[in-house]
Structure 1
Amino acid sequence: MKSAQEDEYLEFVAARAKALYRSAYVLAAGDTHLAEDLVQETLSRVYVHWKRVAGADNPVAYAQTVLVRTFLSLRRRRSTGERPLGQMPDSAVSGPDTALRLALRAVERGRSRRRRRRGAAVVAGVGACGVMAVAALVIPGALAGTRPAGSDLETVALAMPRSVITGTQMIEALKETLPGGRFSRMTGQSNNPADPSGGYVANGGLIVDDGHGAAMVGVSAVRLKLPLGDGDGLSCARTPARAKGDTCTLSQLPSSAAVPGGAVVMSERNAAEHPVRADTAHRWTVTVTLKSTGAQLQMVQWNSTGGGSGADTPKPTRAAPPLSEQQVVAALTGAVWSPILGAVG
């Protein structure tokens, strides 16, 4: 990249790093390390294709979409789950040094990625693959289900939701799903179909104490592009293999008034760290995807007061999640979440 282009890129990062970090923090459920890594990875991809990004009609929307796709790709590979966020620490994203640090690390990653891509192009003769991979990121559904040679990104085909879903709607629906509990740390994020930079994902999260111990619970809403393939929430297959003790099951719901055309249900149980210890927290994830529209709701429950991975995850406060798998499926396909499913797809 020429010096003038790199200066332009750094100006873009300085202006957008804070907003990207906040979006990443939402997706990473308050895991500051993961959020920062997502931003660096996103900005490194933007760096590699900066000429194309700078010439786009909406570079901000471009970067925001790359961020969401990067997260979904990571979630699919590592089954991290899209989780609710905790309280946003303003100090974590304030100050010019944060943007500068993210920019410098992203530039280094971008340079490294560019060198790898050039090497792959020489060996495999796939010089156009980098451009095609970014096209799959920016245009929902482009090259859906493919992974071009030389690309380090798994695509997940998203479609724009039909109408706006606010973070407040998500929180209120979640509270109705957990009646009788005491709630804290309630927060959410709206989608914005009119502006891709507003995001494809709507979510809401909170801490609920139902008398059996406080637990973090959250729901996200997104729409997958039809026809459905083996994208996120539709297959238990993963690489590398799941860790010992982690589980995943796949089932089908028949067509009914509540789920016209039927639905795919994926249920997962994952430990926050391996090997599992007596004080290791667990995450239960249930994903319901409507076959007819691609509308997808995912509920994530922890038996602790926060998400994350490894030693940073809060210790368990209870043995089981607030809701069983059957209760989650009944709730997500019931009257409370029906308006949100309709708004998604």
Structure 2
Amino acid sequence: MIFKSKWYLAVTLSSLWIFPSSPIQAQISGYDVTFPSAYSLGLSSQGVVSSNSLSSIYGNTAFLTNQTKHILDLSTNVSYANPNFSPFYLSGAGYFSFSESFGFGVRGKPVYLRSFPTDERFSNYTFQAFANWKLNPYITFAIHLGPGVSGRIGGFSSYSWNVSASMAIQYDNFRFGIILESPGTYRYDEYLGSERLKEKLPERALVGIGYKWNDWIDIQLEGSRKFYEFTSVSLNQSNQYIPYPVRTMYSGNLSLALGKIETFQILTGVGREIRMEKSLRGFYTASMGVAGSLFPSLFGEGYLYAVSVQRAGLSVRERDGAETRFALQLQLQF
């Protein structure tokens, strides 16, 4: 997932006019927030308020507390641009429903990725154990903790702890969700072969509200804030920062699911993303997908799937950062 090139895209290092006395020996590529499941990609969603296990197992796992079955899940996604395909990125998870008010599981998923920068790819994965519990019939909580690792030119970083917590509230047809996440700080001892790089990835706060109109229509709205002002890059023990405007750190999406997951669903969503580059850059996404039960007459109940496609960077040329993303997900409930 890492490859070399002659020049390196500047993102988190400040430019020479900001630090005229600090010569830059290397520059760091940017990254995007990921959609770790095909169901979430079809909604252009981060899964903060989705009660469907295809999305919540990689997002707000507090919604899994009402899940009475155990889960095994595998999702993969790939991007196309320029005209090349990115590597296949995998997500996997397992969940054990211990009782009506408690469950636990494990998951591995990408948190930040950059498949098509000008010169350098970036990947950040986390591998977490999580537990969720029900406070009362309406409120549930979850906590997630595990190591993460990043990849850049020269190999992979040291590991860092990724910690996140979430809350879900369900009352009648309304849902409300919150996720707070700290991805950690990562160190490369041989970045570009000889540089020492240390970077702190931005924390995230996500909030969402959902409403189930009837058995066939589900609507959700999400918003997020990335704390890019807390990010930093230390190259050869020299700390450098960029003063990003706060207004550029907000993003969100509007999603719609039509149908029943037990049979067939149509997924669609539009959203706005923020790309971590030299200047924080916002662009729009639109996605569609389908999900449902996988041949229940042949395999029986408990086999679910999702297939989605998303265009990231509407009205933006691929050489300027647009890409098309594809994802496939399979889930077994037993």
Say which structure is richer in strand: 2
TM-score (norm 2): 0.25
Which one has more relative contact order, counting CA pairs under 8 Å at least 6 apart?
2
Say which structure is richer in helix: 1
